[in-house]
């Protein structure tokens, strides 16, 4: 059955993409969604086709369509290109099937049950003005099935910052602080927002060094008031570079 093969190929591609989230950051979400689609519902063919097209467009940029023998594509692209081509081929074939044939194909697949996380408590995400934290939240919620809390979660107009932070401290079992280059020092260096540094100290005091991690954007000045905390570096806007190490940390702690 084509649909079963497509499901297996999509899952295999996602497993490969997870090994290098930095390289695949432009299509990471599309590959993940394609691997999680309910393949038992033919109504999802439009969604499947969209994801497949986005993924194939990305890989087409690394293909030697002109037969240039000098060109050597990145290993990340070349080792997955056959899988992507097969996915694209099957999706195109599905789009040419009659309604009866399509129903028969999709009826052969089973929807995957969503696994519940083993983690207890919530993960606090602290951040500055940069929106990179939202990509982290999607990864934690959708890929690792971990529950997160942020200041943006709900309206808290009547509460003070102190009360909100105390509530977060009481309900969190882990904290991740996304430190991005947003403020400038008198020496012209970049530093993280002071509220994020303050939150890092608060959660370290409550949860301990092992339960607080900083995701540190390249180019930030060093900070001494929270020395000793673990941090995972990432370059530019590529926060996905930190996801693999985060996953290892959560596995070590038994949270996933």
Is 243 contained in some domain?
A: yes
Asked, for residue 114, whether it belongs to a domain, the answer is no
160, 91: one domain: no
3-state secondary structure of 214: strand
pLDDT at residue 242, rounded to an integer: 92
d(CA 209, CA 165): 18
Does 102 lie in the same domain as 18?
yes
If we measure between CA atoms, which residue out of 155, 154, 179, 254 comes closest to residue 211? Answer: 254
Residue 238 within any structural domain of the chain:
yes
Amino acid 119: pLDDT? 46
The verdict on 103 and 126 lying in the same domain is no
> Is residue 112 in a domain?
no
DSSP state of 129: S
Q: Which range of residues forms the domain containing residue 187?
A: 122-252
pLDDT at residue 94, rounded to an integer: 94
Please give the Cα distance from 231 to 196 (Å, whole number).
Answer: 13
The reply to whether 41 and 144 lie within a common domain is: no
What pLDDT does residue 191 have? 73
pTM above 0.85, yes or no: no
Asked if 88 and 226 count as a contact pair (C-beta separation under 8 A), the reply is: no
- The gap between the terminal CA atoms of the chain, to the nearest Å, is 33
Tell me how far apart the alpha carbons of residues 216 and 197 are, in angstroms, rounded to a whole number: 11
Is residue 32 located within the same domain as residue 91?
yes
How many domains would you assign to the chain? 2
For 158, the 3-state DSSP assignment is: coil
In a domain, 217, yes or no: yes
**What are the pLDDT tens digits along the chain (256 aa)?**
789 899 999 999 988 888 787 788 889 889 988 998 889 889 999 999 999 999 999 999 998 766 666 778 899 999 999 999 999 999 999 999 999 999 988 888 776 655 554 545 799 999 988 899 999 999 999 888 999 999 887 566 667 788 888 888 888 999 999 999 876 666 767 777 888 888 988 898 888 888 999 999 987 776 655 556 678 999 988 999 999 899 989 988 888 8
In a domain, 141, yes or no: yes
> 123 forms bridges with which residues in the sheet?
148, 174
């Amino acid at each position: 059955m084509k649909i079963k093969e497509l499901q297996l190929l999509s899952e295999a591609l996602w497993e490969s993409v997870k090994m290098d989230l930095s390289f695949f950051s432009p299509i990471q979400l599309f590959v993940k969604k394609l691997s999680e689609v309910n393949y038992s519902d033919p109504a999802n063919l439009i969604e499947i086709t969209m994801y497949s097209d986005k993924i194939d467009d990305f890989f087409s940029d690394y293909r030697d369509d002109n037969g240039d023998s000098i060109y050597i594509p990145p290993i990340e692209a070349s080792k997955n290109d056959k899988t992507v081509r097969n996915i694209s081929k099957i999706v195109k074939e599905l789009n040419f099937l009659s309604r009866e044939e399509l129903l028969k194909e999709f009826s052969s697949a089973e929807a995957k049950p969503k696994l519940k996380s083993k983690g207890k408590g919530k993960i606090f995400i602290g951040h500055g003005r940069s929106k990179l934290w939202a990509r982290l939240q999607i990864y934690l919620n959708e890929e690792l099935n971990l529950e997160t809390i942020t200041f943006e979660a709900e309206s808290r107009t009547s509460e003070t910052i102190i009360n909100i932070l105390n509530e977060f401290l009481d309900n969190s079992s882990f904290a991740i602080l996304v430190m991005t280059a947003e403020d400038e020092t008198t020496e012209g260096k970049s530093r993280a927002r002071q509220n994020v540094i303050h939150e890092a100290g608060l959660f370290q005091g409550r949860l301990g060094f092992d339960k607080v991690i900083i995701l540190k954007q390249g180019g930030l000045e060093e900070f001494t008031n929270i020395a000793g905390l673990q941090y995972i570096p990432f370059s530019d806007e590529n926060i996905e570079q930190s996801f693999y190490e985060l996953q290892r940390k959560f596995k070590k702690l038994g949270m996933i």
